[in-house]
A = this chain, B = another copy of it.
Amino acid sequence: MMGAASIPLILSVLQEGESYGYLIIQRIKVISGNQLEWKEGTLYPILHKLEKKGYITSSWKTSESGRKRKYYKLLENGQSVLAAEQQNWQSLNQIFSKLWLTQINSI
């Protein structure tokens, strides 16, 4: 369903500022107009992978309420990966625009 979009999506959300798993899921839900409702089992393994690759970093923090949260932050490395992913997405988007425009024109 998401395909190659997961990673740019997560990195983009983190580019808005550091965040934690639960909040990222909600942010994605809000920004997609309730279309994307990720489960934890989807997000966390990806976050772990991104951290392992050095795109993001994590740190435990305790909120005033006493809750412990693991905050993720975009690293420079991840910044450039995101830039490449944006490029990639836009390039795919152009291909589709071309294909779909052609079909409209050929009516």
Contact = CB atoms under 8 A, between A and B. Distances in A.
Given A5-B4, A5-B92, A12 B99 contact: yes
A95 to B, nearest CB: 5
A67 to B, nearest CB: 26
A86 interface: yes
Given A99-B31, A100-B12, A93 B91 contact: no
Interface in A19-42: 31-32, 35-36
Nearest to A1: B4
A58 interface: no
A89 B100 CA distance: 12
Contacts of A31: 95, 98-99
